[in-house]
Amino acid sequence: MDERMLDGNAIAGLLQGVFAVEITTAIGTCDGCGATESVGAIHVFRGAGYVMRCPHCRNVLVTIVRDDARTWIGFPGMRTLEVSV
C-alpha cells in the first residue's frame, strides 16, 4: 500500500468547503472547445433531470438528476471548475 494514499474521508472538510460556495460565479472550462464561462452563463436544459451545455459548442458539461433522497451530478464535459473560497 502507498503510504501517501488515504480514502475520501480524509478530504471531507476540503470538499465541504469547496461545495459550500456561490456556485454561479464559479468558472467552468469546456473540455470540448476550451471556452471558459461562469456557471451562471451556461445553458441549462430541463427534462427528466438537468443538462448544462456549453454556450459556445453545446457540449454537455454537467448532468444533474434528483429524487426525493439523492442527487447525482456528472461532469462529462467540464475540464475544470474554478471556485473562489
The whole-model pTM stands at 0.85
Q: Which residues of the chain fall short of a pLDDT of 70?
A: 1
In a domain, 1, yes or no: no
Report the C-alpha gap between 82 and 1 in whole angstroms: 32
pLDDT given for residue 17 in this prediction = 83
Domain tally, the chain: 1
> What per-residue confidence (pLDDT) applies to 58?
97
Range of the domain at 12: 8-82
| Dist CA 81 CA 30 (whole Å) | 9
Is 36 within a domain? yes
The pLDDT value recorded for residue 1 is: 67
- Structural domain contains residue 16: yes
